[in-house]
Amino acid sequence: MKKLIVGQSGGPTSVINGTLAGVYSEGKKKGFKVYGMLNGIEGLLDGKMIDLDEYFNNSDNLELLKRTPSSFLGTCRFKLGKAEEHEDLYKKIFDILDENEIDSFIYIGGNDSMDTVESLSDYAKEHNKHQNFIGVPKTIDNDLPITDHCPGYGSACKYIATTLKEVISDNACYGDTKKTVAIVEIMGRHAGWLTASAALAKDDNCPGVDAIYLPEVAFDIDNFVKETEELLKKKSNIVIAVSEGIRTEDRRFVCELLDTNLQTDAFGHKELVGCADALGRILRDKLGVKARPITLSTLQRAGAHLASKTDLEEAIECGKLGADLAAKGESGKMVIMTRETGKKYQIKYEVFDDIHKIANVEKKIPLEWIDVENNYVKEELIDYMRPLIQGEVKQIYKNGLPQHITLKRN
Amino acid sequence: MKKLIVGQSGGPTSVINGTLAGVYSEGKKKGFKVYGMLNGIEGLLDGKMIDLDEYFNNSDNLELLKRTPSSFLGTCRFKLGKAEEHEDLYKKIFDILDENEIDSFIYIGGNDSMDTVESLSDYAKEHNKHQNFIGVPKTIDNDLPITDHCPGYGSACKYIATTLKEVISDNACYGDTKKTVAIVEIMGRHAGWLTASAALAKDDNCPGVDAIYLPEVAFDIDNFVKETEELLKKKSNIVIAVSEGIRTEDRRFVCELLDTNLQTDAFGHKELVGCADALGRILRDKLGVKARPITLSTLQRAGAHLASKTDLEEAIECGKLGADLAAKGESGKMVIMTRETGKKYQIKYEVFDDIHKIANVEKKIPLEWIDVENNYVKEELIDYMRPLIQGEVKQIYKNGLPQHITLKRN
C-alpha cells in the first residue's frame, strides 16, 4: 500500500481543513494510506506524524473537520532554505520519509510553503529520490499568482463583509446626533485583496464602507485626514477599511509613525500592530472626532462559522486534485483554480507545472481595479470577489456552539 | 385610536430590534397606532418620529427587523436630569407627546434609560399628565438588577463563546513549536457578566480559555504576569479573557497604566481603550512572549448573525409584555424576566413595580460565583449563562450576506 503524508503550513484559514478532508478522502480512494505531519515540516523533522484513519475513518468526524477552523494538524512557519546551505535538513527529511516508507508528500500552504514544495521536489529529482511533492494553495491573503484565487480567501471575505454590515449598522446608531468614525483594520501585508472585500458589505440594506485604503497605493496621512473631514461634512457616521499594511510614500508603515515597538517574525516580516489605532488617534487629534479602531485580527481567518460554501467546496476539490496528482506520481506541481470566462461563475481545477513561478511571488491587486481617487475599489474587483462568498455552510451545533474536531495531543 | 411611541436608548444589542418587533406587533394587536422616536429621547425633543406601519405592515420586514443588529430607530445617551433642574426639557417632551396625542411611551434600554422612564413617569404623575411610561430592559452588560438577565446578553455571550472557540483553535495552531498568548478584551465596564461568558467556550472539542479576569476582582499586574508565566510552563498556547474594566486595587484601569490619553463620554464614563494591548505589551516585556491583543469591540454587541434563539425570543416577549402594560395604563414599571426554579430552564415574564430600584443600580457578579484563586468562574455562573446561548436564528441570506432592514433617513 502506498503512503501519503500531508501537512499544513503558514497562517490558518477557515477552510484549510476542508482541503485536508479532500486530500484524505481522495487519497484513500486512490489506495493511499494517509498520514498527517504535525506542525508541517517542522514537526516532520521531529518525526511527528499521525495516522489520519484514527480520526477520519468516520464520516461524522470528516464533516466536523470541514467545519473546524485553524490547522487541524498544526502549522509552522519554517523556512527550509536552499538545499546547498542546509543539506543536513534535507537529508533528515528524506531519511524520515524513507524510514516511514512515504511515497507522496502534499503541502497545503501559501507562498512560503510552495517554496518548501519546490525545494523538496527539486532535491528529490537531483538525488534520485522516489518521493513526489505536490502543493495545494491556501491563504486568506489571496496573494498567490497563477491561480484565480486561493481557498480560504472567500471565507475571510464573507466574514469581513458580514462583520462590516454589522459594524456599519452599529456605528450609525447615533445617526446625526453624533459624529462617529470606525476604522476597521484588515489583514494583508502587501496585497489588499482581503481589505478590498470590505466593498462587498454594500447592498440595498447597507450603505457600505466609506473608504478603503489598500497597501497597493501609497498612503498619505494628510490626505487621509482631509478626505475623512470631507466625508464627515457629508454624513455623520462613517466606516473606513484599512489594510494593516498601508505605507507612506517613503515606505513606512502607518503604525510606525506612532509606534516604534515592532517585532519581526521568523521570515523577517514586521508584525503590524495598531494601524487602526494609530489612525484613530490621528483623527481624534486633528479633527476632534471620536474614532473607534476595530482590528479584525485572527477572527477573520478563523471565522469558520461564517465560511463560504463556495470556498469550502473549492478547498475540498483542491485537496482532492492534490491527492490525485500524488497518485499519478506528479511532483513539483501545484493545484490551481481557473475561472471560466462567461457570466456564470465556474471554476476549473488544474495543475500548474512550474511551481518556481509561484513560490515567493506575491500577487497584488491590479492598479486598474483600484479607484485611487475615491479611495475605493472598481466594479471589476467587486465582480471578481462576489462569487467567492456565495452560499453558507450548515454548522453542526451542540449546546449553542458550533462543533469542531481537535487533535488529541499527548 | 390610542397612540404608542417606542424608543431605543443606550448601546445597541443584537436583539434590541427583536424587542421593537415585539412592541410593534403586540401594540398593534392591542389597538395602538405605533410610532417610533428616532434616537430616543434626544430625537423626540427635536420632534423626530416615524410611523412604524410604513415599515412593518409587512411580515417580511418584521422578520428582517428581528435579525437586524444595532438600534433600528437609532439610539442616544441623553441624560435627562432631574425634573426640578430641567423643567424646560420635561415640559418640551410632554408638549410634543400632547401635540402628537401620544398616550403611551415605551423605552427599551439599560440603566440610564430606566432612569429616564422613572423620571418621566414621576413627572407625569406629579403633573397629572395622562401618558404612561414603561421600561423594557436590554443590555449586553447584563447589569440590571431584579430581572434574572437582560435581553441582548445571551446573544453577546453566544458571539463571545463561538468566537473564542475559533480564537483558541487558531491560537493553538503552532502547538508546542511556539509559545503563543492571545488576550481577548471583552466589554463590561463594572460588571463581568459578559467577560465571564468566555467560560462557555470550553466543551469536549475546545480546551477553553485559560484565565478570566473580571472587574469584580482587583487586578494585580504582578500576579497576572506570574500566573501567565505559570500557565506557560504547563502549556504552549494560552488564551486569556479580560474585561475592559479591570482595575488595580487603587482603582486605576489597566489601560491607564500605559495610556493617559483617555476620553470621557456624556455620562462621565471613561472610554476604555487598549486594555488587552496594554497587557500584551507587559507580557512581551516581562516574559518575552508574543502576546496578541484581540479586542471584540462592537462586534460582540452587533453580531446578529450569531444571535441566540433563546435570547431573541425573550427579547420579543419582553417587548410584547411592554406593549401589554402600556395598553393597561401601567406606568413607571419595567418588564423583567424571572427564572423558574427547577432543572429545566424556563422564564416567566413579569412586571416590576418599582423602577426606582432598577434605575442607576448596577448588578455585578456575586463574588461566590467567581473562582478568584484560579482566575476563573464557578460552575454556578456557567449554569446560569449556558441556557441563554441555546438555539440559532435562521438568517435570511441574499448574495452571500445576511439581510437587515435599515431606516430610510432623509
Q: Which of A171, A294, A406 sits opposite B205 (nearest CB)?
A: A406
As a whole number of angstroms, the distance between CA A187 and CA A297 comes to 7
Q: Which CATH number fits domain A153-302: 3.40.50.460, 3.40.50.720, 3.30.465.10, 3.40.50.150?
A: 3.40.50.460
Please check the confidence at residue A277 and state whether its pLDDT lies above 90.
no
DSSP three-state, residue A8: strand
DSSP conformation letters of A224-276: HHHHHHHHHHH-SEEEEEEETT-BBTTS-BGGGGT-----B-TTSPBP---HH
Each residue's pLDDT tens digit, A14-56: 999 999 999 999 999 999 999 999 999 999 999 999 999 999 9
Contact A390 B401 (CB under 8 A): no
Contact A69 B263 (CB under 8 A): no
Contact A177 B74 (CB under 8 A): yes
- Alpha-helical (H) ranges within B337-406 are 379-385
DSSP three-state, residue B403: coil
Contact B182 A298 (CB under 8 A): yes
> pTM score > 0.90 for this model?
yes
Each residue's pLDDT tens digit, A105-147: 999 999 889 999 999 999 999 999 999 999 999 999 999 999 9
Cβ–Cβ < 8 Å for B287, B143: no
Cβ–Cβ < 8 Å for B166, A296: no
Contact B42 A400 (CB under 8 A): no
Nearest CA in chain A to B202: A401
Query: Which positions in chain B touch A308 (Cβ < 8 Å)?
Result: 400
| Nearest chain B CA: its distance from A273 CA (Å) | 9
Say whether residue B260 is in contact with chain A using an 8 A CB cutoff.
no
Average pLDDT value over all residues in chain A: 94
Residue the block writes with cell 484559514: A13
A265: pLDDT confidence band, cut at 50, 70 and 90? very low
Please check the confidence at residue A262 and state whether its pLDDT lies above 50.
no
Contact B175 A38 (CB under 8 A): yes
As a whole number of angstroms, the distance between CA A26 and CA A88 comes to 33
For an interface test with B, the pick among A50, A61, A169, A209 (most B C-beta atoms closer than 10 Å) comes out as: A169
Query: Which positions in chain A touch B176 (Cβ < 8 Å)?
Result: 409
Cell of A273: 500592530
Nearest CA in chain A to B78: A177
Each residue's pLDDT tens digit, B80-135: 989 999 999 999 999 999 999 999 999 999 988 999 999 999 999 999 999 999 99
Fold category of A3-141+304-361+391-402 in CATH: Rossmann fold (3.40.50)
Cβ–Cβ < 8 Å for B96, B105: no
Say whether residue B39 is in contact with chain A using an 8 A CB cutoff.
yes
Q: What is the ipTM of this complex?
A: 0.96
Say whether residue A389 is in contact with chain B using an 8 A CB cutoff.
yes
Buried b or exposed e, range A340-371, using 16+ CB within 10 angstroms: eeeeeeebebeebeebeebbeeebbbeeebbe
Q: Which of B69, B167, B182 sits opposite A166 (nearest CB)?
A: B69
User: Which A positions 96-155 lie with beta carbon below 8 A of chain B?
Assistant: none
Per-residue pLDDT, A9: 97
pLDDT by residue, tens only, chain B of 410 residues: 999 999 999 999 999 999 999 999 999 999 999 999 999 999 999 999 999 999 999 999 999 999 999 999 999 999 898 999 999 999 999 999 999 999 999 999 998 899 999 999 999 999 999 999 999 999 999 999 999 999 999 999 999 999 999 999 999 999 999 999 999 999 998 999 999 999 999 999 999 999 999 999 999 999 999 999 999 999 999 999 999 999 999 998 887 766 434 445 445 555 445 789 889 888 988 899 989 999 999 999 999 999 999 999 999 999 999 999 999 999 999 999 999 998 899 999 999 998 888 877 899 999 999 999 999 999 999 999 999 999 999 999 999 999 999 998 65
Cell of A74: 498544526
Cβ–Cβ < 8 Å for B312, B66: yes
As a whole number of angstroms, the distance between CA A359 and CA A119 comes to 10
Residues of chain A with CATH 3.40.50.450: 3-141+304-361+391-402
Residue the block writes with cell 458580514: A162
| Nearest chain B CA: its distance from A199 CA (Å) | 12
Report the run of H or E that residue A125 belongs to, with start and end. Answer: helix A111-126
Nearest CA in chain A to B383: A399
Segment A286-313 shows an average pLDDT of: 96
| Nearest chain B CA: its distance from A294 CA (Å) | 6
Say whether residue B392 is in contact with chain A using an 8 A CB cutoff.
yes
Cβ–Cβ < 8 Å for B293, B304: no
Name the residue among B331, B334, B355, B357 with its Cα closest to residue B128: B331
Q: Give B186's strand partners.
A: B243
Contact B177 A42 (CB under 8 A): yes
Name the residue among B106, B81, B118, B126 with its Cα closest to residue B353: B118
Q: Give B74's strand partners.
A: none
Query: Which positions in chain B touch A392 (Cβ < 8 Å)?
Result: 395, 397
Cα angle, residue A24 at apex, residues A23 and A25 outer, rounded to 5°? 100
Contact B401 A389 (CB under 8 A): yes
A274: pLDDT confidence band, cut at 50, 70 and 90? confident
Nearest CA in chain B to A297: B294
A122, A141, A143, A277: the active-site residue: A141
Name the residue among A84, A12, A78 with its Cα closest to residue B173: A12
Catalytic center residues of B? 141
Query: Which positions in chain A touch B398 (Cβ < 8 Å)?
Result: 203
Per-residue pLDDT, B268: 54
Say whether residue A281 is in contact with chain B using an 8 A CB cutoff.
yes
Cα angle, residue B378 at apex, residues B374 and B384 outer, rounded to 5°? 150
Residues of chain B with CATH 3.40.50.460: 153-302
Nearest CA in chain B to A154: B400
Query: Which positions in chain A touch B162 (Cβ < 8 Å)?
Result: 305, 401-402
Contact B403 A166 (CB under 8 A): no
Nearest CA in chain A to B166: A302
Per-residue pLDDT, A268: 54
Buried b or exposed e, range A257-289, using 16+ CB within 10 angstroms: beeeeeeeeeeeeeebbbbbbbbbbbbeeebeb
Cβ–Cβ < 8 Å for B293, B183: yes
What's the full length of chain B, in residues?
410
